[in-house]
Structure formats: C-alpha cells, structure tokens
Amino acid sequence: GEDVEQSLFLSVREGDSSVINCTYTDSSSTYLYWYKQEPGAGLQLLTYIFSNMDMKQDQRLTVLLNKKDKHLSLRIADTQTGDSAIYFCAERVRAGKSTFGDGTTLTVKP
C-alpha cells in the first residue's frame, strides 16, 4: 500500500535554505505535491512534480525527485519568517485519493 513519511521538525535561521524531505512507497505513475498549512488554515498547494521528472524550480522553491529511492525534497531558498508553517508532502495516483505525510513543522528564527 501507499505510505508517505516525513521528518517532523526543521528549524532554520532567516535567510538560510530549508530542505524538507519525504519518502513515498507507491510505485505507480503519480503526482507528488507539497502543501503549506498555517495555523488554523487549510492547505495551500505550493508546487507539484510528476513522478517521471527529476526536478522542478519555481521561484524560491526547488523540488527534487529521486525515483529510484522514492525520495522527494523541497528546498526553500532564502527562508523567511513567513515561511514558518507545517509542510505536507502528498502523493496521488491519477484521480484516486491522496496520501499525506505527517507534516514537517518548519520554524524560522530571526
């Protein structure tokens, strides 16, 4: 079955880069997503990558995908205090249900 795992906490200083890691197990063709959740709010889609891609860059965000190891990472360049939130990775096989990781709490210290 599908399973998505993330490290639970990450703390960085403002201006540094943050790297959040995720592993997944489903080997089907799939999309992988990164969501941001601020306290008391819903999920905001940050970016996504298809499982046949290696990398995707979108402004300060870089997604790297290692298909062999089923490892996904999200790098946030020049991290700001406003980036403090919980980040979820998720996988979805076509129009089926999404499976979410447990979330990584990112704390950005000034």
Partner 1 sequence: GAVVSQHPSWVICKSGTSVKIECRSLDFQATTMFWYRQFPKQSLMLMATSNEGSKATYEQGVEKDKFLINHASLTLSTLTVTSAHPEDSSFYICSADPQDLLPTYEQYFGPGTRLTVT
Check residue 97 for interaction with partner 1 (CB under 8 A).
yes
Q: State both tokens at 61.
A: 């965000």
CA separation for the pair 35, 16 (Å, rounded): 20
Using the minimum distance from each CB to partner 1, give the nearer residue, 31 or 64: 31
CA separation for the pair 36, 76 (Å, rounded): 12
Among 17, 45, 58, 67, binds partner 1 (CB under 8 A): 45
Using the minimum distance from each CB to partner 1, give the nearer residue, 17 or 25: 25
Q: Choose one: 15-23, 51-59, 74-82, 91-99; the region binding partner 1 (CB under 8 A).
A: 91-99
Nearest approach in angstroms of CB 22 to partner 1 is 12
Q: Choose one: 10-18, 19-27, 44-52, 58-66; the region binding partner 1 (CB under 8 A).
A: 44-52
Name the CA dihedral angle for 11, 34, 60, 107, rounded to a multiple of 10 degrees: -20
Check residue 48 for interaction with partner 1 (CB under 8 A).
yes
**Contacts with 60 (C-beta within 8 Å, 6 or more apart), sequence order:** 76, 77, 78
